[in-house]
C-alpha cells in the first residue's frame, strides 16, 4: 500500500536468499501477489469512479505504483531464483 502521508510505496522487501526450497518459491509468489492484488482493487475502484463520471486519476496512479512494485519484486525474485 502507499503511505498516505508520503505518497510513496514502502521499500520492496527482499525475496528469500535460497532458491533451493519450496518455501522460498512460495514466499516469492506471495510477495508478488500482494501488489498485484492491490492493483486489481484499485482498477475496480477506477472503473466505478469512471462509471459515475468521476475523476479516476488517483486510483490509476495507485495501480501504476502497485504494478511498478510488482515488477520490481518480480525482477528481484527472478534474479535470486535463477541466479
Choose among 30, 39, 35: nearest CA to 60: 39
Total-model pTM: 0.69
Choose among 20, 65, 18, 6: nearest CA to 39: 65
Whole-Å CA distances, 52 to 42, 44, 46, 62, 63:
15, 13, 10, 19, 19
pLDDT, tens digit (0-9, with 9 covering 90-100), for 56-83? 999 999 999 999 999 999 998 888 878 7
Choose among 11, 29, 13: nearest CA to 81: 29
DSSP label of 18: -
pLDDT, tens digit (0-9, with 9 covering 90-100), for 14-24? 544 454 567 88
Mean of per-residue pLDDT scores for the chain: 82
Amino acid at each position: 500500500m502507499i503511505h498516505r502521508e508520503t505518497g510513496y510505496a514502502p521499500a520492496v522487501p527482499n525475496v528469500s536468499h535460497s532458491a533451493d526450497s519450496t518455501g522460498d518459491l512460495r514466499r516469492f509468489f506471495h510477495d508478488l501477489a500482494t501488489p498485484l492484488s492491490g492493483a486489481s482493487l484499485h482498477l475496480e475502484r477506477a472503473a466505478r469512479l469512471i462509471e459515475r463520471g468521476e475523476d479516476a486519476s488517483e486510483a490509476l496512479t495507485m495501480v501504476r505504483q502497485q504494478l511498478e512494485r510488482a515488477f520490481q519484486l518480480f525482477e528481484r525474485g527472478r534474479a535470486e531464483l535463477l541466479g
